[in-house]
Amino acid sequence: MSITGQEHRMTTRNGIPVMGLGTYQRLGPEGCEAIRVALEIGYRHLDTAQSYDTEENVAEAIRRSGVPRGEVFITTKVATTNLARGAFLPSVEKSLKRLATERIDLTLIHWPSPNDAVPFEHYIEDLGTAQERGWTRLIGVSNFPIALLKKAEAILGKGRLATNQVEVHPFLQNRTLRDWCDGAGISVTAYMPLAKGRVAADPVLRDIAAARNATPGQIALAFLLQEGLIVIPASSRRDNLAANFAATGIVLSAEEIARVRALDRHERMINPASPPAWDR
């Protein structure tokens, strides 16, 4: 059955709106205004992180927008520097203050501790505690391979993790991880869905876009949405923000989906010096 644009905008996966706005680098007055404009356009899912330094801008943009706080879904992420016992929970309290909210909608572990510098069970248990205290409605992780997802489930119990936020775009489709998450009931949130803008130059995406009077970026986002992912593209320009949001109205054919699937070349763009053991 086809999914209309309006249905995409209203759709949630594990309670998370499927179209969101990434707020990385949305700093200062200009960044705050970009977030406010996104809310004006219709975005209702804002993705921030302690390390982005945009939590206060998210709060201020919501205030300026006039959109009730209860209509905006806020995701934040606990920084690697705050994973240790004695730092994790106070950092979530600080995020609550910076976000000017009594409860965060979704709190994630941003990255697993590099080289296990912090014991895994410590920060996973603290994530669960933040939820149990009512500081966050949902919990999840980011940049976790299957092996660590299994470990987290063993500590928290199945059904606790709402999402795993990972790099996914047409050139890195992360199918092994996504298939496992689907089976476990964990939604997948695609960060960097436009591959740092590289989708704009891809001949296949350009061809599909031209036939639909759309942009390659819109085709990439429409593809990921139809694949069942949550997407959080980022931009500061009103026209790009509007174009990204309008991608919810594009429904690709089976042939077009197959063409985009064929673009997967495991091209990872975010890979730290001490990365997790990525799945292939």
Residues 6+ apart with CB under 8 A from 253: none
Catalytic residues: 52
- Say how many C-beta atoms besides its own lie within 10 A of residue 117's C-beta: 10
Amino acid (one-letter) located at 21: L
Using DSSP, state whether 258 is helix, strand or coil.
Answer: helix
| DSSP secondary structure of 36-67 | HHHHHHT--EEE--GGGT-HHHHHHHHHHHT-
Give the count of beta carbons closer than 10 Å to the beta carbon of residue 33.
17
Pairing of strands 16-17, 12-13: antiparallel
The 3-class SS string of 164-209 reads EEEECECCECCHHHHHHHHHHCCEEEEECCCHHHHHHHCHHHHHHH
Determine how many CB atoms are found less than 10 A away from the CB of residue 238: 14
Length of the chain in terms of residues written: 280
End-to-end Cα spacing for the chain: 30
